[in-house]
Amino acid sequence: MQGKQRSESTIYMAFILVTSALKLFLILRNILSMKVSLRVIVPEDAAAVAILSAQLGYTISEEQTLKNIKAIIENENCEAFVALCEDDVVGWTSISYNIQLESPPSAELRGLVIDERYRKKGIGKMLIKKAKEWGREKGLSLLRLRCNVKRIETHLFYSYLGFVETKQQKVFEITL
């Protein structure tokens, strides 16, 4: 009887091991076969971009997102890129040419978000690389960004990619 119980638990353990290995294999296969590409944003991205903006913490309609995309496309000092996985938009970044009176022009990353389901797969890094290339093509030598102090995980991401924290700020607003 004891021998039978032992062999049943051995079979059960083997079953768990095999199914776990299979799951791991499928996850790895999905990650490795994932084809990600980047391109400049187009008006047709509005719906997907609005959904991702919500993941960034901004509630914005598809209609307003479309207006924003069109404004970016028409402004040569602004650009936005989306990351595609197959045909799905899974991330976006926007960047601008920043002119200040008191310092030389610089590139500014205006926003960056990756779909929650696609994080930690190298897509954020790809978009940062693209933003850096855009800045260099514009003749700029500095890329700056602002990041909410609450986004501790994101600070680690930027530090990992070589960004250096230079200061902390407060943001003030007034209705016009």
Ligand X SMILES: CC(C)(COP(=O)(O)OP(=O)(O)OC[C@H]1O[C@@H](n2cnc3c(N)ncnc32)[C@H](O)[C@@H]1OP(=O)(O)O)[C@@H](O)C(=O)NCCC(=O)NCCS
In the complex, which residues of this chain contact ligand X (CB under 6 A)?
A: 56, 112-114, 119-125, 147, 151, 153-154, 156-157, 160
Q: CB of 156: closest distance to ligand X in angstroms?
A: 3
Nearer to ligand X, 2 or 59 (CB): 59
- Measured distance between the N- and C-terminal CA atoms of the chain, rounded to whole angstroms: 82
Q: What's the closest the beta carbon of residue 154 comes to ligand X, in angstroms?
A: 4
Which one, 97 or 157, has the nearer CB to ligand X?
A: 157
Asked if residue 59 lies in contact with residue 50, where contact means CB atoms within 8 angstroms, the answer is no
Least distance CB 16 / ligand X (angstroms): 29
Over the range 140-161, which residues count as b (16 or more CB within 10 Å of their CB) and which as e?
A: beebebeeeeeeeeeeebbeee
The two beta strands, 36-40 and 78-85, are antiparallel
- Give least dist CB 98 to ligand X, A: 16
Which position's Cβ is nearest ligand X?
124
Q: Which is nearer to ligand X, 119 or 138 (CB)?
A: 119
Amino acid type, 150: K
The C-alpha atoms of residue 141 and residue 107 are separated, in whole angstroms, by 8
Strand partners of residue 92: 82, 113
Task: Tell me the sheet residues that pair with 144.
Answer: 108
Q: How far is the CB of 50 from ligand X (least distance, A)?
A: 15
Of 119 and 144, CB closest to ligand X: 119
**Which CB, 72 or 121, lies closer to ligand X?**
121
